[in-house]
Structure 1
């Protein structure tokens, strides 16, 4: 499953969007513009943007924030695969990919998520499968 990340055009610009970078996805149910908003966060940069959720911003073949919202925990992860300007396409990690990231002591997941037990691996396996 792939998503479009619409990045903020701020001081980080394109620097935050690096290929294979780990992005933490965080549900933002209190967002006053979109109750299915999911913001994106990266190590060293903090909040970098949102998962796209409109026909004008979702790149063809990607899942919108609204379609993704019920398929992830309150926080989850993706790998950036493609970058174009201030937008990116990221792949949602499968359960096995997530476990590999957790097992890698140098993975950014260790800096982005304080309590790995918050991630329900079986829930993710149900929606995204294994490798």
Structure 2
């Protein structure tokens, strides 16, 4: 599964959007503009933007935040695969890819996850294991 990330140029410019960079996805159910908002964070930068959730901003072939919202835990991870200006396309990590990141002591996952014990691998395998 792929998603469109819309970045905030005024916060960090395009700098955080690097190929294969790990992005933490955080649901924001109390967001006053969009109850299906999913915030995107990166190591060293914090919040870099949101998963696109509008027909004007979602790149064709990627999932909107609304379509992804019920398929992920309260926080999850993706890897940036394409960058164009202040927009990126990221791939949602499969269960195996997530485990591989966790096994790498240098992975940004360790700096971004709030509580690794909260990541439900059975839930992830159910939704992402076959990708």
User: TM-score higher than 0.5 here?
Assistant: yes
Cα distance, 1:130 vs structure 2 = 4.2
Structure 2 match to 1:30: 30
Cα distance, 1:64 vs structure 2 = 0.4
Structure 1 match to 2:80: 80
Cα distance, 1:115 vs structure 2 = 1.4
User: What SS is found at the alignment partner of 1:38?
Assistant: strand
Is 2:63 the partner of 1:63?
Answer: yes
Q: Which sections of structure 2, spanning at least 5 residues, go unmatched? A: none
Q: Which sections of structure 1, spanning at least 5 residues, go unmatched? A: none
RMSD of equivalent CA atoms: 0.9
Structure 1 match to 2:6: 6
Contact 1:42–1:48 at 8 Å: present in 2 too? yes
Cα distance, 1:12 vs structure 2 = 1.0
Structure 1 match to 2:111: 111
Contact 1:96–1:130 at 8 Å: present in 2 too? no
Contact 2:11–2:48 at 8 Å: present in 1 too? no
Structure 2 match to 1:52: 52
Cα distance between partner residues in 2 of 1:44 and 1:32 = 26
Cα distance, 1:129 vs structure 2 = 1.6
Contact 1:4–1:58 at 8 Å: present in 2 too? yes
Cα distance between partner residues in 2 of 1:53 and 1:59 = 10
TM-score with structure 1 length normalisation?
Answer: 0.97
TM-score with structure 2 length normalisation?
Answer: 0.97
